[in-house]
Structure 1
Amino acid sequence: MTRRQAITATATLGLALLLLAMGAAARPLLVDEHPLSRPVLNPTEIGFAQDMLAHHSQALIMTARLDQTADPTVVALADRIEATQREEIGELKGWLRMAGASTVNNAPMQWMHPNNSVTDHHHHAATPSETADGGPAMPGMATQTELDALSAARGTDAARSFLHMMTRHHYGGIQMAQAANNLLTDGIVKQTARDMMTNQTQEAALMEIMLNSLTTAR
């Protein structure tokens, strides 16, 4: 190789290295090296969290309206339900806050029936929410009339009313949690839905036993 050829080769190599360096430096400007990560919550998870938040909030209203002089066992159970659902409400709100989502669902239960229009409510026509009281379109929800009756009830009547309403409320929550479990493939929301199914099924069974005992003793 002549001296001139050596100089040319060296210059070419130097230019190539310079272009490579410039390309590496420019890459962050041209290529997104950090693609968008998975959203904190998907639409199904957001809808479930919003609707379960509303569902749990009514449960707290029911526990607050129970006559504290009613059967001590029923009052103790109501206190347990209140504590559990307050904790879960905090968790639900935390998820929605992280996702930047509202705590209120403008299309209740649409996540549960994604192929139906927002105005298609036939799937929960048997729930109290479809009565003249105009409650939310969610399974197991009590009407305002029922809540007012619970506030007015005393003693054994209050205990029976509470157990009847909360049992139905729990089964509505179980229905929502089952739907979330079926729709979601993995994640903390799916696991929490499964936990809710287990806990509320156990409590609903206990309330049915308690209600039967109070009815028998009448």
Structure 2
Amino acid sequence: MTRATTAVCAVLLALLLAVAGFFGGVAWENHRAEQRSHEPTPADIGFAQDMSVHHDQAILIANTLTTEVAPEIRGLADRIAATQAAEAATMRGWLDWFALPLTSDHPMEWMHPGEHEHGPSEPTDADEPPMPGLASSDEIARLSDARGAAAEIEFLQLMIRHHRGGVEMATAAQNSDTASAATRRLALSMITEQGDEIGQMTLLLRARGVAP
């Protein structure tokens, strides 16, 4: 091999290494950007924290309902408890994966960002629930004591209101510009599922001559 040929080969090798380095750098930057895009946003975190707590109460309401009710209502309560337990486990799994707290110090802040950035907020009504649709401890106690038709009506009314609050929260997440695709998909699933159940429970109440 002549000295000239060796020089040409060296130049070509240098060019190949430079090109490989350039494309390798682009690939690494794309990888880093993709990793950043998968990091949870405040909307993802707040929704997972608050909705899992919201689900906890739906499970409590369903489990508080006595077994001495019509089979279709007991069956509906059991399905709600099972579905929401699975969804809560999914959301807490996300939070645990990213080593994030399972609950928020400021519930619902993700729906109203910036409220806690300018000092203490205005005092809220003590009777106002921290999240839409939550039942009070007195209402849970009343459901626990109720039997027969009274228990059916109490359960259906509490759960319809609870589901409406859940749909409100899920709609905010589904419409959020900063929520991830995974959060929006889960939120849309909740809107569909809980919307259908609200319809079923409304019909069950009407069959008993009671408004939601």
Q: Do both share a fold (TM > 0.5)?
A: yes
Give runs of aligned pairs for residues 79-98 of structure 1, distance below 5 A: 79-98=78-97
Calculate percent identity across the aligned residue pairs: 36
Partner in structure 1 of residue 206 of structure 2: 212
Q: Name which structure has the greater RCO, CA cutoff 8 Å, separation 6+.
A: 2
RMSD: 3.1
Counterpart selection for 2:191 from 177, 186, 197: 197
Question: Which ranges of structure 2 fall in alignment gaps of 5 or more residues?
Answer: 19-27
Matched, 1:48 2:47: yes
Instruction: Compute the TM-score of the two structures, normalised by the length of structure 2.
Output: 0.78
Quote the Cα distance in structure 2 between the aligned partners of 1:155 and 1:98.
43
The offset of 1:93, in angstroms, is 1.1
Rounded Cα–Cα distance in structure 2 between residues aligned with 1:120 and 1:148: 31
1:26-175 correspondence to structure 2 within 5 Å:
33=28, 35=32, 37=35, 38-117=37-116, 120=121, 130-132=125-127, 135=129, 137-175=130-168
Match of 1:187 in 2: 181
Point out where structure 1 has 5 or more consecutive residues left out of the alignment: 1-6, 24-32
**Amino acid corresponding to residue 190 of structure 2 in structure 1:** M
Q: 1:117 to 1:74 in 2, by over 3 A?
A: same
| Bigger Cα Rg | 1
Closer, same or farther: CA 209–131 of 1 in aligned 2, 3 Å: farther
Q: How many pairs does the alignment contain?
A: 200
Counterparts of 2:182 and 2:174, CA distance in 1: 11
Q: TM-score, normalised by structure 1?
A: 0.76
What is the aligned partner in structure 1 of residue 25 from structure 2?
none
Contact 2:40–2:180 at 8 Å: present in 1 too?
Answer: no
- Find the aligned partners of 2:72 and 2:157 in 1 and give their Cα distance: 15
